[in-house]
Amino acid sequence: LPNSFKSSLLSRILTSFFLSKTQLQMSKHTDAADVLLERRGCAGVITLNRPKLLNALSLGMIRQIYPQLKKWEQDPETFLIIIKGAGGKAFCAGGDIKVISEAIKTKEKLTQDFFREEYMMNSAIGSCQKPYVALIDGITMGGGVGVSVHGKFRVATEKSLFAMPETGIGLFPDVGGGYFLPRLQGKLGYLLALTGFRLKGRDVYRAGIATHFVDSTKLSMLEEDLIALKSPSEENIAGILETYHAESKIDIDKPFILEEHMDKINRCFSANTVEQIIENLRQDGSPFALEQLKVINKMSPTSLKITLRQLKEGSSKTLQEVLTMEYRLSQACMEGHDFHEGVRAVLIDKDQNPKWKPANLAEVTDEDLNRYFKSLGSNDLKF
């Protein structure tokens, strides 16, 4: 990795991830233009249309996308679904986290509704019977990962920027992160989840997050070719994606940015506790390991322990089982200290200096963790 990967990366990740929320108002009403839903040719096309806010997901947008997705799934004239972001800078930088934090303070029901309905949408994407093509061009973090990674096809470009930086804001990599992250090669998903490590361009494909890589300048042509298909099968759609993928030469000769570090990642992140992962990194002592150590030491201790358990449990669960687990975690985090402190430090005061409680890993007990994973009974997420 280049020497520019410094501990200040944490604040840059979080600034990117939450930039889209800083201007948001408390209104739960979304202008219909925030998401465009169109039938074009053989395809249903979803356009996340808040470019000035990096296409951040709101509850209103979710409430438009989910029912339309279900309608297109049943429509015999719709053969595939395409989702993309407007503006050229972001696919989707995440969800309206600041709005959620403010809603809790005013005792609004948004916190239950947002996560419940977002996760229902994530599940619907994962089980969609029509080929689902996500064009992940630009920033793709948090909620943006949830509306892309569970689909059949995910197309990255040289402008793609993927990260799950939630441990730095007192949360955990949700939207099904507990399902897809532990299924990446080796312990790569554990590194991404605990550190918020950013992947760019073709590395998003090499990591297994994207299924294809296409030059950003060719995306509109790709979309038109998909839309022009006549009653296509999944194989027809895959064939067009493969053709565009094969024609892309950008960074084709560069190795995966983490390739030389995968042995270290697999060794250090295979531990059963966060404390042991930290000790493994310290003992490794390489510049790469020490950089990850610096980043982890800035994260919420509670979030780190939640996240490691989330991934370990999620590795053997179905997507729906993972989302049920993550809904429990989301509601517990909303009631805890660290999420609101993370929002304060990153979004409100912007001092990038959150005061976590508990402040160290030793104070986060198994009993504390069990409370986060506890069933919500009749309030559990059900499919």
Catalytic residue numbers, as ranges:
95, 143, 166, 174
Chain-centroid distance, C-alpha 113: 19
Give the type of residue at 193. Answer: A
Residues in the chain: 383
Residues 6+ apart with CB under 8 A from 356: 170, 300, 301, 302, 337, 338, 341
Phi, psi of 215 (to 5 degrees): -60, 135
Between strands 35-40 and 90-92, the pairing is unpaired
Token pair in block for residue 296: 């982890």
Residues 6+ apart with CB under 8 A from 303: 166, 167, 168, 170, 171, 172, 333, 338
| 194-199-203-205 Cα dihedral, nearest 10 degrees | 80
Q: Are 181 and 190 in contact (CB under 8 A)?
A: yes
Q: Where are the beta strands (DSSP E) in the chain?
A: 35-40, 43-48, 80-85, 90-92, 132-136, 139-141, 153-156, 161-163, 199-200, 212-213
Integer-rounded Cα Rg, in Å, for the chain is 20
Residues 6+ apart with CB under 8 A from 57: 48, 92, 94, 95, 96, 118, 143, 144, 147
Q: Are 101 and 340 in contact (CB under 8 A)?
A: yes
Q: Are 7 and 294 in contact (CB under 8 A)?
A: yes
What is the distance between the alpha carbons of residues 210 and 195, in angstroms, rounded to a whole number? 20
Q: Are 59 and 113 in contact (CB under 8 A)?
A: yes
The 3-state DSSP class for residue 82 equals strand
